[in-house]
Structure 1
């Protein structure tokens, strides 16, 4: 058999003769994969790999108290060992899924003077690196793609941050060039973000710069060093929700040719089954039920027959529980889940909708302080009814992956205006940001359909129509928690907590950035907290809610000394919360350990490396 094949191949090659033998063989020297493909063929795969952002939200959403989890419990408790690839998906995306595919797309496009494609590549590169360094801190950058290397030195965030903005600016400049390439449908058919719309890609480039600089707002030199660049980028980034950066997802459920063509959060892929659920803190914020804690850190019981059996904090930042127009934030209907009144008959009934109950789980279990969290699709844990259909809101099989939004840009701008500019301007920007998120939220509502033969009136999908949502949203925007808020009461908490709601849960990474740069509202002296100054082995000191400098009202970490917390972190944390994700085990701890060990101020192989505060969160330079 071997002899026969050899003769056959020899005959075929010989028949090609001197006319094209060399050229034919050069098409593919690699028998397993092509050596060269046109740049545009990389595009769809690079963009679809952004689903890996949602993979890592399994760790980050519990770190932020957006979600609780019975799966990634170590992250919910701010401790994890290095011997796992868990929460290493963005690392994998950056260096492998995109990796050389993105590098090849950029370099081949530059060589061919395909400026549009190259510009898109640089902006995606900037976006991906921005996400990755905010999660992981120091990373190999300069040596990342050097051929033949068996180890890669790490670069520190000041260099990575500056390079991210340079990549974004390069992408913008390339997109602004006259491009004489004839693409036809090559870009539009493979670009699942903007379908080749150059103007929107340019705005996305500026949005990356805004995102990058927004994480530096607590640095002492922000006004002098970054403010002007930030404000300029804001003026050129997204101008409305039509500019939002999202990745289209095909969906299809069981009919999809590949399971991964469905959204990671959709019911078909079962990643939001019972392993992840809405956290009690998120529910308290969304529903205006943040409790009051007395001097001992205990909740004060009230009538046990009420929805919330505890005395509420006098200041509810997002909304309250009053059943009157303007007092309820309708985003709770879309972003959180309830098992109440699951009937199509009430989908447009405001009087019924406002009486729905929402419950959040704890850090590692769905049983919360006042009830049990349902699944994100609105099922009770005791139910055997698995009829979730196509899902709902962003938890649908065909929902897009959200990369960045107009509302996010406005919240970032409002924060900077409040801290470094004009409070009145910040107030107006903040109101625009909330309105933008209301519009964004409504755009993904899909009215439910009845479950056949259920006999209960139960249905699949969203519990509210877009029209009813918009009506309630306008009342809220006109009410006492937004337009009617006295200017004298407006503070940083309103900006950052509304941003928490707006980015729930797709933007957990950026919320985690904010929580870390405000040092988790830990009470400490000096520039940053440390062992003995903010926490020790057994106690973590967080600001009380009546402290005017506390940003996230009602937010307490697992070891905080209030009811429902009062735990402790793993001994390896030395009392500290988690400030970064470790690099991916299978690449760095298996093959690049010496480079990790060289990192400072905490070595990458230390048991508490996850507690190393990243540069963006320090008000000054990192300590040596």
Structure 2
């Protein structure tokens, strides 16, 4: 959990460059005010911090999705025997520790300083956004790792840190989010002349959208506790109703894509996903073969299939089995990579496909996602009419989301946009897929449509859903855990990721031992939020 030397110097430099906020002064000379290698001696204007903090948050998720994406079977390895496919982990490695780095190092003291400077200048919108980013970081971190260091996280002079329980972290997320709302609603001070729009890569300084994001986070925080006696479906529904009102409110981080340093992690220029293949599970959800998302007339094609996924050379859509890879198919039948290129040597200028583009925005929260949360909460409450309404809105919203990525191919005579519209109309008219009677709506339909809507970005929320239902194939129809599981798992699936190796296992092992973190099967220990 140690703060890396020179990190703040690098982070502030990146912020200034990303936002384009200074011209002739070099980054080195501008930051020569810093004599402390572990932090800045002088705090700079709030807008200089935001770009790297927001980008770091998105990249933390994207980096670690190379591992978590395999756990939840958004995708799996091209080759057989991948340990992450088997719910394993790589010992003595920082692999899967990027989110930890983002929350503690990239955000870390920089976010604290941004909030302090904004309070000093009475820029309450910056203060609100700062508290909200902190809360969002803690929410993701605890859902990913379980126990984490919160109360002692940024205390000066500490060389060891105690872990807070997940229950305590959930309460802190609520406290910080409510504090964020209070500040975002303030209109006094310097809010009228704020420069939030100069550094905000998510909402461009739109305070109203940040308020909606805050209520979305409260909904997620409460809904994760669906296995607890204190869980309140009504509270979740009320939060969602105050949250994102349409796809126009979706929260996502902007990337320019011109050079590697400002390119989306999933872009072909970065080349981070060349050996990844779509899973059999997602293919089954979109090709109509999944029993819970199946049209009995056998005439409905999900319009999202060709937009989101890549076909094999023969034009058919297939996915890989975890731990098996594409070796189960003959060469002509093997699914292509996520950019749909003939080989895994991918040119940096390869055209964008769905979320896998150099300059594609990376989503953090969407309207469709929240509608499915509302649908599940209403279903649990027993209000199936409300559940069906939210479910239908969620499917429609994700159809709109995907439609943005439909591109007419000049090599084919078809009008791809028109075909998408026709298939969408047929899909939404199918009573098997979109029930006309609320009594026919099932929990499985809600959760599987949510899975589709979060494919390729909402890994943590998807994993939280899988763990809340303990990987149930009754809820997640067609989902099968890898066989065999990783040897150290002792037959159990993963429920958490181990903390960052070069932080905790090298420097904080005594505290880690207290929570069982030195045990070889620690990553299979169930988290507090999913326990009944």
Same topology, TM > 0.5: yes
Determine the C-alpha separation between the residues in 2 that align with 1:215 and 1:204: 17
Determine the C-alpha separation between the residues in 1 that align with 2:345 and 2:296: 31
Determine the C-alpha separation between the residues in 2 that align with 1:93 and 1:183: 31
Does the 8 A contact of 1:333 with 1:464 survive in 2? no
Does the 8 A contact of 2:237 with 2:378 survive in 1? no
Determine the C-alpha separation between the residues in 2 that align with 1:129 and 1:31: 27
Q: CA deviation at 1:406?
A: 0.2
Q: CA deviation at 1:318?
A: 2.1
Number of the residue aligned with 1:442: 403
| 2:363 aligned counterpart, secondary structure | strand
| 1:403 aligned counterpart, secondary structure | strand
Determine the C-alpha separation between the residues in 2 that align with 1:432 and 1:96: 38
Determine the C-alpha separation between the residues in 1 that align with 2:187 and 2:328: 58
Number of the residue aligned with 2:302: 329
Does the 8 A contact of 2:122 with 2:191 survive in 1? no
Number of the residue aligned with 1:373: 335
Larger helix fraction of residues: 2
CA gap of 1:35–1:483, structure 2 versus 1, over 3 A, is same
Does the 8 A contact of 1:194 with 1:201 survive in 2? yes
Determine the C-alpha separation between the residues in 2 that align with 1:269 and 1:53: 15
Determine the C-alpha separation between the residues in 1 that align with 2:460 and 2:529: 14
- 2:278 pairs with 1:278: yes
Q: CA deviation at 1:188?
A: 1.1
Number of the residue aligned with 1:473: 424
- 2:49 pairs with 1:42: yes
Unpaired runs of 5+ residues, structure 1, are 1-25, 291-315, 342-355, 451-456, 522-542, 544-549, 560-566, 620-624
Number of the residue aligned with 1:190: 199
Determine the C-alpha separation between the residues in 2 that align with 1:464 and 1:434: 23
Q: CA deviation at 1:363?
A: 1.5
- 2:239 pairs with 1:288: no
Q: CA deviation at 1:487?
A: 3.7
Q: CA deviation at 1:41?
A: 0.8
Does the 8 A contact of 2:278 with 2:319 survive in 1? yes
Does the 8 A contact of 1:106 with 1:118 survive in 2? yes
Determine the C-alpha separation between the residues in 2 that align with 1:112 and 1:317: 54
Does the 8 A contact of 1:281 with 1:360 survive in 2? yes
Number of the residue aligned with 2:16: none
Within 5 Å, give how 1:206-355 maps onto structure 2: 206-222=215-231, 226-252=232-258, 256=259, 259-273=260-274, 275-290=275-290, 316-320=291-295, 324=299, 327-339=300-312
Q: CA deviation at 1:266?
A: 1.1
Within 5 Å, give how 1:107-126 maps onto structure 2: 107-126=116-135
- 2:512 pairs with 1:588: no
Q: CA deviation at 1:231?
A: 2.4
CA gap of 1:357–1:387, structure 2 versus 1, over 3 A, is farther
CA gap of 1:511–1:182, structure 2 versus 1, over 3 A, is closer
Q: CA deviation at 1:218?
A: 2.2
Instruction: Please list the CA deviations of residues 89-137 of structure 1 after superposition, one character each: whole Å capped at 9, or x if unmatched.
Output: 1000000011111111112212221101010111111111111110000
CA gap of 1:489–1:147, structure 2 versus 1, over 3 A, is same
Within 5 Å, give how 1:46-195 maps onto structure 2: 46-49=53-56, 50-70=58-78, 73-181=82-190, 186-195=195-204
Q: CA deviation at 1:391?
A: 2.0
Does the 8 A contact of 1:43 with 1:190 survive in 2? yes
| 2:162 aligned counterpart, secondary structure | coil
Determine the C-alpha separation between the residues in 2 that align with 1:490 and 1:231: 18
Does the 8 A contact of 2:384 with 2:439 survive in 1? no
Determine the C-alpha separation between the residues in 1 that align with 2:448 and 2:436: 15
RMSD over aligned Cα atoms? 2.6
2:469 to 518, 539, 545: 518
CA gap of 1:174–1:469, structure 2 versus 1, over 3 A, is same
- 2:519 pairs with 1:617: no
| 1:75 aligned counterpart, secondary structure | coil
CA gap of 1:201–1:66, structure 2 versus 1, over 3 A, is same
Determine the C-alpha separation between the residues in 1 that align with 2:476 and 2:172: 31
The TM-score with structure 1 as length reference comes to 0.75
- 2:475 pairs with 1:551: yes
Within 5 Å, give how 1:598-609 maps onto structure 2: 598-599=514-515, 603-609=516-522
Q: Which has the larger radius of gyration?
A: 1
Unpaired runs of 5+ residues, structure 2, are 1-30
| 1:396 aligned counterpart, secondary structure | coil
| 1:168 aligned counterpart, secondary structure | helix
Q: CA deviation at 1:511?
A: 0.7
Number of the residue aligned with 2:321: 362
| 1:246 aligned counterpart, secondary structure | strand
Does the 8 A contact of 1:205 with 1:237 survive in 2? yes
CA gap of 1:470–1:210, structure 2 versus 1, over 3 A, is farther
Dislocated runs of 4+, deviation >6 Å: none
CA gap of 1:616–1:31, structure 2 versus 1, over 3 A, is closer
| 2:76 aligned counterpart, secondary structure | strand
Q: Which moved more, 1:208-217 or 1:490-499?
A: 208-217
Instruction: Please list the CA deviations of residues 486-529 of structure 1 after superposition, one character each: whole Å capped at 9, or x if unmatched.
Output: 544321100001111111121121111100110111xxxxxxxx
Determine the C-alpha separation between the residues in 1 that align with 2:68 and 2:448: 17
Does the 8 A contact of 2:125 with 2:191 survive in 1? no
Instruction: Please list the CA deviations of residues 429-452 of structure 1 after superposition, one character each: whole Å capped at 9, or x if unmatched.
Output: 11111001111111233445x6xx
Determine the C-alpha separation between the residues in 2 that align with 1:412 and 1:469: 26
Determine the C-alpha separation between the residues in 1 that align with 2:346 and 2:127: 49
Instruction: Please list the CA deviations of residues 2-47 of structure 1 after superposition, one character each: whole Å capped at 9, or x if unmatched.
Output: xxxxxxxxxxxxxxxxxxxxxxxx9925177663211121011111
Determine the C-alpha separation between the residues in 1 that align with 2:461 and 2:77: 19
Does the 8 A contact of 2:443 with 2:475 survive in 1? yes
Q: CA deviation at 1:221?
A: 2.9
Does the 8 A contact of 2:311 with 2:340 survive in 1? yes
The TM-score with structure 2 as length reference comes to 0.87
